[in-house]
């Protein structure tokens, strides 16, 4: 079984698992907390386990936390884990040059995108693989092929944000940790979303039509200032949109699963509501930005009722996943001008079929899922992964760990 401690990532057997006060995931003997919360050494040192007065942190825990606080490796007597990495990628991908920044205790066993590329690996090599990097484009079907061979796998990192194409039941139920590139693309997506708002506010369709017919005719434009933006999905991308929108003077309301702003993302002036109030937000916003991940819970979350609740002058922007919207209802609303317009970077089916009506509607901006595709976006994603490789080797908390049950 792929069991590793969710605190320090070292292998853990059944006998080794402790019983902390709040049991959720397996913890190795001596480890104090779950992986879902960042360590706060000062607090932990005061913490008691199992409400027993005599309980206190072990020597191991104390030295580990002290070492983390000092930023050094825990237990100098304990060796770092060598990260033996399998990279799923096209071999000629330019971003792979970033691999030269890997720490010294990381080793890339093979790079490839098919079983043929890995045919040179011996059984010993397969048994050594403890980390896997899945780059842009790789889906779970290939990973499922590899799965039985990587018995010692402990960690998969995806260089995209959405892991909807990556997760499957065996992986979800295992203890393999999955992390993603959350945060890397948020800035470019937020820029695109605000541009899309301006596109309609300045009535660029009209301006471009006039330009084409050489018509000099003045018309009214709108400011984004003082307009209302509703953000559906308040993760890293949603928060980046909120920050930019506020710089324009927009009033921002967000909808999230929990209805509460994440602790690090408390932007003053942003009201965060739960998904139960989605239709309310849809009806009150002038510009709606959907930045939802694709999970079983978000499938068609923005349904026909939500779209019908939108104002006539409202604009819908989707930079999350196409399946989170009921696309037929959206197309219909756009065709009948029940809403002002839409700017879509993602679609239920990609590539967007050539006969989709969305291509030709004058009030729709169609972007082929490249709103974040800058020249260096994969480089940046891999640089973030390299940081995680260092953490993996030193048994530290990984960044951007995905909650496999929730799907993001």
Among 49, 62, 248, 257, binds other proteins (CB under 8 A): 248
By CB under 8 A, is residue 349 in contact with other proteins?
no
3-state secondary structure 142-184: HHHHHHHHCCCCCEEEECCCCCCCCCCHHHHHCCCEEECCCCC
Among 72, 79, 97, 350, binds other proteins (CB under 8 A): 350
The answer to whether the CB of 163 falls within 8 A of the CB of 320 is no
- With b for 16 or more beta-carbon neighbours within 10 A and e for fewer, the 231-253 pattern comes to bbbbbbbbbbbbbbbbebebbbb
Listed residue (55, 7, 9, 49) closest to 31, CA to CA: 7
By CB under 8 A, is residue 214 in contact with other proteins?
yes
Listed residue (207, 241, 209, 206) closest to 224, CA to CA: 241
Residues 271, 242: Cα–Cα separation, whole Å: 10
Residue 161 or 282 having the CB closest to other proteins: 161
Interface region with other proteins, contact rule CB under 8 A, candidates 184-192, 268-276, 322-330, 397-405:
184-192
SS3 call for 386:
helix
Interface region with other proteins, contact rule CB under 8 A, candidates 76-84, 135-143, 215-223, 387-395:
215-223
Among 67, 82, 146, 207, binds other proteins (CB under 8 A): 207
Residue 109 burial class via C-beta count within 10 angstroms: exposed 0-12, middle 13-18, buried 19 and up? middle
Among 169, 263, 296, 351, binds other proteins (CB under 8 A): 351
SS3 call for 360:
coil
Element (H, E) at 143: helix 140-146
- Among the residues of 7-81, which ranges form H helices? 41-46, 59-70
By CB under 8 A, is residue 249 in contact with other proteins?
yes
Residue 117 or 191 having the CB closest to other proteins: 191
Among 178, 181, 330, 365, binds other proteins (CB under 8 A): 365
Smallest gap from residue 239 Cβ to other proteins (A): 14
Smallest gap from residue 115 Cβ to other proteins (A): 27
CB atoms under 10 Å from CB of 321, counted, come to 24
Which residue in this structure is represented by tokens 């779950």? Answer: 34
The answer to whether the CB of 27 falls within 8 A of the CB of 18 is yes
Residue 165 or 369 having the CB closest to other proteins: 369
Number of amino acids touching other proteins (CB under 8 A): 48
Among 118, 126, 147, 192, binds other proteins (CB under 8 A): 192
Would you state the torsion angle of the CA atoms of residues 170, 175, 176, 179, taken in this order, to the nearest 10 degrees? 110
SS3 call for 308:
helix
x/- mask, other proteins, residues 367-406, rule CB under 8 A, reads xxxxxxxxx-------------------------------
By CB under 8 A, is residue 332 in contact with other proteins?
no
By CB under 8 A, is residue 210 in contact with other proteins?
yes
By CB under 8 A, is residue 136 in contact with other proteins?
no
Among 21, 50, 221, 260, binds other proteins (CB under 8 A): 221
By CB under 8 A, is residue 312 in contact with other proteins?
no
Kindly list the residues in this chain that would bind other proteins in the complex (CB under 8 A): 187-188, 191-192, 194-195, 198-199, 201-202, 204, 207-208, 210-211, 214, 216-225, 243-244, 247-249, 350-352, 354, 359-360, 365-375
């Amino acid at each position: 079984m792929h069991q590793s401690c969710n605190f320090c990532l070292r292998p853990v057997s059944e006998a080794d698992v402790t019983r902390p006060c709040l049991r959720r995931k397996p913890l190795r003997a001596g480890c104090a907390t779950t992986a879902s919360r960042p360590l706060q050494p000062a607090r932990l040192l005061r913490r008691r386990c199992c409400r027993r007065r005599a309980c206190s942190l072990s020597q191991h825990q104390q030295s580990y936390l002290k070492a983390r606080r000092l930023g050094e490796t825990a237990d100098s007597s304990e060796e770092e884990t060598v990260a033996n990495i399998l990279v799923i990628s096209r071999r000629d991908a330019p971003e792979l040059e970033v691999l030269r920044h890997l720490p010294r205790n990381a080793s890339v066993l093979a790079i490839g995108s098919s079983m043929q590329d890995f045919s040179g690996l011996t059984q010993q090599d397969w048994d050594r693989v403890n980390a896997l990097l899945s780059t842009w484009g790789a889906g779970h079907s290939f990973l499922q092929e590899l799965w039985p061979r990587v018995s010692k796998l402990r960690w998969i990192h995806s260089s995209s944000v959405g892991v909807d194409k990556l997760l499957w039941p065996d992986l979800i139920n295992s203890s393999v940790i999955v992390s993603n590139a959350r945060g890397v693309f948020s800035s470019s997506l937020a820029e695109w979303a605000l541009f899309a708002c301006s596109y309609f506010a300045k009535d660029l369709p009209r301006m471009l039509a006039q330009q084409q017919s050489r018509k000099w005719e003045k018309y009214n434009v709108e400011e984004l200032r003082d307009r209302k933006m509703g953000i559906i999905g308040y993760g890293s991308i949603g928060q980046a949109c909120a920050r930019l929108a506020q710089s324009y003077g927009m009033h921002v309301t967000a909808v999230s699963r929990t209805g509460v702003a994440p602790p690090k993302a408390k932007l003053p002036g942003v009201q965060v509501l739960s998904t139960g109030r989605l239709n309310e937000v849809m009806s009150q916003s002038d510009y709606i930005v959907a930045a939802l991940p694709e999970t079983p819970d978000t499938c068609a979350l923005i349904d026909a009722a939500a779209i019908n609740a939108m104002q006539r002058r409202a604009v819908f922007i989707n930079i999350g996943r196409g399946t989170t919207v009921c696309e037929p209802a959206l197309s219909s609303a756009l065709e009948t001008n029940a809403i002002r317009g839409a700017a879509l970077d993602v679609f239920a089916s990609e590539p967007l079929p050539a006969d989709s009506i969305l291509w030709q509607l004058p009030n729709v901006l169609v972007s082929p899922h490249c709103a974040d595709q800058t020249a260096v976006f994969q480089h940046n994603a891999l640089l973030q992964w390299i940081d995680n490789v260092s953490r993996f080797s030193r048994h530290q908390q990984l960044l951007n760990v995905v909650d496999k049950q929730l799907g993001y």
